[in-house]
């Protein structure tokens, strides 16, 4: 078995333990998968956590307490090697469960709730030494009718898995196809960052890389869009108007690109830095602040063109860098709501 197929197999027990969640099975799988001092880099406010036990207590246990029937559903599992020779496994999917207790100050609803995740695991000698992960926490706020931020420009909905239903990529690893996919994505990005430094948006050559019916699945707070017109109008134009120095400063940034057949992934912590010098993006005031953005993405290529792009940005961390405590604001908006646990009757009693 090639090492990338082997690495995906190593993660299978951890993923399975989160499907029918078992604390014992999960903690055992986590301990067996990771080195003792593995670093877990999480979305704000969870932050950076060292060690498997601390990760379980700080990140996993509170979610399980709030959603006791939490279930993990992966729709992308891919692996590959980045440009520095480091091996990664990327997983994308949803956590779903019944929200019965406050989580991160988000009020419970008593209803089915979903939260998208992107997780990127770096492995050395068959052990995870680092995980970079973003959970779409704002998505949970939205479902709880507890939204404390400006409205999204894009469409907010439960993000689907790949239309082709081939995101759980089996072995053996196809090195040539994987490299070709990665090359398409890296060439697209090199063209993308020419604008707005070069004022004509045509320099991005979007039609060369993107399928006419592509879907761009953004994080909650930004929302999703379809096709070049949707992508430009509901995300890219506001984004670049607000931060026109996109792509000018690439020092001290690191992006890890890897491909697996017709999928590519990228992770960076952070992998973008730009100045919020103008209005227009997520309702943020043009403060002149240099924002460091963490974006963990997947792409699916079909017939040589990008058909789907799943994007996660640490939206709460962007607000945090501007001195805005979104969770505290959420608490103020919702302090008159039920702050305790919801007890749901079985429905089987006469």
Name all domains of the chain by residue range, CATH numbers in brackets. 3-143 (3.10.450.50), 175-333 (3.10.450.50)
At 250 the pLDDT is 73
Model confidence at 68, in pLDDT bands (50, 70, 90)?
very high
Q: What's the chain's average pLDDT?
A: 96
Quote the CA–CA distance of 95 and 75 in Å, as a whole number: 11
Q: What is the mean pLDDT of residues 41-62?
A: 98
Quote the CA–CA distance of 339 and 13 in Å, as a whole number: 35
b/e for 216-247, b at 16 or more Cβ within 10 A? bbbbbbbbbbbbbebbbebbbbbbbebbbebb
Which of 142, 155, 171 has its CA nearest to residue 5?
171
Contacts of residue 93, defined as CB under 8 A and 6 or more positions apart, other chains included, come to 72, 73, 74, 75, 76, 116, 117, 161
Model confidence at 218, in pLDDT bands (50, 70, 90)?
very high
At 249 the pLDDT is 74
Model confidence at 339, in pLDDT bands (50, 70, 90)?
confident
Model confidence at 349, in pLDDT bands (50, 70, 90)?
confident
**Residue 208, SS3 per DSSP:** helix
Quote the CA–CA distance of 14 and 34 in Å, as a whole number: 11
At 346 the pLDDT is 87
Q: What is the mean pLDDT of residues 208-219?
A: 98
* Region at 347 (left for phi over 0; alpha for psi -120 to 50; beta for the rest): left
pLDDT at 252 over 80: no
7 close to 87: Cβ distance less than 8 angstroms: yes
């Amino acid at each position: 078995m090639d090492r990338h197929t082997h690495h995906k197999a190593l993660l299978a027990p951890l993923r399975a333990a989160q499907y029918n969640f078992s604390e014992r099975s999960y903690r055992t799988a986590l301990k067996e998968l990771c080195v003792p001092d593995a670093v877990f880099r999480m979305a704000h406010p969870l932050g950076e956590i060292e060690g498997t036990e601390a990760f379980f207590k700080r990140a996993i246990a509170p979610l399980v307490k709030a959603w006791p029937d939490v279930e993990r559903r992966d729709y992308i599992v891919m692996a590959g090697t980045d440009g520095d020779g480091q091996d990664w496994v990327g997983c994308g999917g949803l956590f779903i469960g019944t929200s019965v207790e406050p989580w991160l100050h988000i009020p419970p609803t008593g209803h089915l709730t979903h939260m998208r995740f992107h997780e990127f695991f770096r492995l050395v000698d068959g052990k995870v030494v680092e995980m970079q992960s973003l959970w779409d926490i704002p998505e949970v706020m939205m479902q709880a009718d507890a939204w404390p931020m400006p409205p999204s420009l894009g469409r907010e909905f439960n993000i689907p898995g790949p239309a082709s239903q081939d995101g759980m990529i089996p072995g053996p690893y196809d090195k040539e196809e994987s490299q070709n996919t990665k090359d398409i994505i890296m060439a697209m990005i090199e063209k993308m960052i020419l604008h707005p430094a070069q004022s004509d948006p045509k320099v991005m050559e979007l039609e060369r890389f993107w399928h006419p019916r592509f879907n761009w699945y953004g994080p909650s707070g930004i929302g999703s869009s379809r096709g070049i017109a949707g992508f430009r109008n509901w995300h890219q134009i506001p984004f670049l108007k607000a931060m026109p120095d996109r792509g000018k400063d690439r020092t001290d940034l690191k992006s890890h690109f890897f491909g697996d057949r017709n999928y590519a992934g990228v992770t960076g912590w952070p992998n973008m830095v730009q100045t919020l010098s103008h209005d227009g993006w997520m309702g943020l005031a043009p403060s002149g602040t240099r924002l460091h953005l963490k974006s963990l993405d997947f792409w699916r290529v079909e017939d040589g063109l990008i058909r789907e792009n799943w994007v996660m940005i640490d939206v709460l961390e962007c607000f945090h860098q501007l001195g805005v405590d979104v969770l505290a604001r959420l608490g103020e908006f919702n302090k008159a709501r039920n702050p305790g646990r919801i007890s749901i009757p079985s429905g089987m009693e006469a």
